[in-house]
Amino acid sequence: MCNVWRVGADVSQAPSAGAFAALDESRVTRFQWKIMFISGMGFFTDAYDLFVIGIVVALLKTQWNLTTPQVSLLNSATLAALAPNYAFLLAAVRSLASASAETIRCRQRS
Q: Can you give the pTM of this predicted structure?
A: 0.47
Please state, in angstroms and rounded to a whole number, the distance separating the CA atoms of residues 107 and 110: 5
What is the reported pLDDT for 73?
A: 92
The model's confidence at residue 1, banded by pLDDT at 50, 70 and 90, is very low
Q: Pick from 109, 104, 106: which is nearest to 22 by CA?
A: 104
pLDDT > 60? residue 60: yes
Average of per-residue pLDDT across 79-104: 71
